[in-house]
Amino acid sequence: MGAPPQLSAEQRSAALAKAKESRQIRSAAKTKIKSGDLSLSDVFTLAEKDSFIAKMRVFELLASLNGVGKIRATAIMERLNISPTRRIQGLGKHQISALRSEFSPAQSRGKLIVLSGPGGVGKSTIAAYIREHGTFWVSVSSTTRQPRVNEKNGVEYYFLTEEEFDQEITKNHFLEWAHFAGARYGTPREPVEHELSAGKNVLLEIDIEGAKQVKVHAPEAILVFLEPPSWEELVSRLERRATDSPQRRAERLQLAQEELAAASFFDHRLINDQVENVVQKLLSLASAH
Ligand code: 5GP
């Protein structure tokens, strides 16, 4: 370590005066933050021009916000990977936008609703209705299965080759993915995240394995298990599905049986009696959470 800089008496007193001014400005800002006169977003904007504010510690800023306090400030900083001594000027772009969306009421996150249940129970009909009526934003999955007649790339699914799907996995582009009846299905992460941060409620219509993965990565997700009005009804529906080969139908039936047993893992169970009923209940669940 080198020797401390030798300052003249004049320089020393100028430095002291500057430090005092800086403390006063930050303390005045903290008072305004506490009273709600300055929002977190205002402080970030001020910090772009004012070097005293830019040097404020992020911890002091968060802990001063109404209703936050030291414990929650520490937890938020840990979650966003912000070091405890970080100053506003040292925050990365992503950290600033994560903090802004955390505290801006206009941008409060939307709800993530996961609709799952045995294959053939009618999830895709519900999802199609919701997409058509704009009730929630409905995620478009990627899959390696072949398109059925009338299915269009980018509408029902993004149809990918095995290699393309592998690449998406490697790049960590899926929020979740799973094998289902000989094919792979995955939820593209980025669009879901984008809609949620814009405050939109998002619906994923996915299989049970996928739903379990979502719960691990996003514990706030609302997991809904759609049940057939009766097991016999489900069997006959699967048997009538002419678009599948007999082997495919048998596989789907076997899986549906196992899936029915998984209902207990879910936050809510809904019986698929009528599309409008189910949609109405999903809406109530989203606003109740
Ligand atoms: P289908 O081939 O009949 O369109 O869908 C087969 C199954 O895959 C359904 O149970 C459907 O919910 C599920 N599925 C659709 N998209 C996804 C997804 O992105 N992830 C997972 N895990 N399952 C999906």
Question: Do both 283 and 183 map to the same domain?
Answer: yes
Question: Do both 143 and 278 map to the same domain?
Answer: yes
Domain-embedded: residue 272: yes
Q: What is the pLDDT, as a whole number, of residue 231?
A: 76
Q: Ligand 1 atom closest to Cα of 142?
A: 19
Q: What is the pLDDT, as a whole number, of residue 113?
A: 97
Question: Do both 180 and 201 map to the same domain?
Answer: yes
Q: Ligand 1 atom closest to Cα of 157?
A: 16
Nearest-CA residue for atom 22 of ligand 1:
210
Q: Does the Cβ of 141 fall within 6 Å of ligand 1? A: yes
Q: Does the Cβ of 135 fall within 6 Å of ligand 1? A: no
Q: Does the Cβ of 180 fall within 6 Å of ligand 1? A: yes
Q: What is the pLDDT, as a whole number, of residue 13?
A: 87
Q: Compute, in angstroms, the gap from residue 103 CA to the centroid of ligand 1.
A: 35
Question: Do both 181 and 278 map to the same domain?
Answer: yes
Question: Do both 144 and 275 map to the same domain?
Answer: yes
> Given 50, 73, 107, which residue is the final one in a domain?
107
Domain-embedded: residue 231: yes
Question: Do both 264 and 156 map to the same domain?
Answer: yes
Domain-embedded: residue 2: no
**pLDDT truncated to tens, each residue of the chain (289 aa)?**
556 667 788 888 888 888 888 888 889 999 999 888 898 989 999 999 999 999 999 999 999 998 888 998 998 999 888 999 999 999 998 899 889 878 876 557 899 999 999 877 899 999 999 998 889 999 999 999 999 999 999 999 999 999 999 999 999 999 999 999 899 999 999 999 999 988 899 999 999 999 999 999 898 999 999 998 887 777 787 777 777 788 888 887 787 778 778 888 899 999 999 999 999 999 999 988 8
> How many domains in the chain?
2
pTM for the full predicted model: 0.64
Q: Provide the CATH number for the domain around residue 198.
A: 3.40.50.300
Q: What is the pLDDT, as a whole number, of residue 3?
A: 62
Q: Does the Cβ of 178 fall within 6 Å of ligand 1? A: yes
Question: Do both 169 and 234 map to the same domain?
Answer: yes
CA distance 138 to 176: 15
Q: Ligand 1 atom closest to Cα of 209?
A: 22
Q: Does the Cβ of 139 fall within 6 Å of ligand 1? A: no
Q: Compute, in angstroms, the gap from residue 32 CA to the centroid of ligand 1.
A: 51
CA distance 250 to 189: 32
Domain-embedded: residue 9: no
Domain-embedded: residue 53: yes
Query: Backbone phi, then psi, for 46, in 5-degree steps?
Result: -60, -40
Domain-embedded: residue 5: no
Question: Do both 84 and 126 map to the same domain?
Answer: no
Q: Does the Cβ of 185 fall within 6 Å of ligand 1? A: yes
Q: Compute, in angstroms, the gap from residue 207 CA to the centroid of ligand 1.
A: 5
Question: Do both 167 and 280 map to the same domain?
Answer: yes
Please list the alpha-helical segments (H only) found in the chain: 9-35, 40-49, 51-54, 58-64, 69-79, 93-103, 123-133, 162-170, 189-197, 208-217, 231-240, 246-260, 275-288
Q: Does the Cβ of 123 fall within 6 Å of ligand 1? A: yes
Q: What is the pLDDT, as a whole number, of residue 246?
A: 83
Question: Do both 116 and 220 map to the same domain?
Answer: yes
Question: Do both 262 and 131 map to the same domain?
Answer: yes
Q: Provide the CATH number for the domain around residue 71.
A: 1.10.8.50
Q: What is the pLDDT, as a whole number, of residue 228?
A: 87
**Domain housing 177:** 112-288
Non-local (6+) Cβ contacts of 174 within 8 A are 142, 168, 186, 187, 188, 189
Q: What is the pLDDT, as a whole number, of residue 2?
A: 56
Which tokens is 139 given? 């995620």
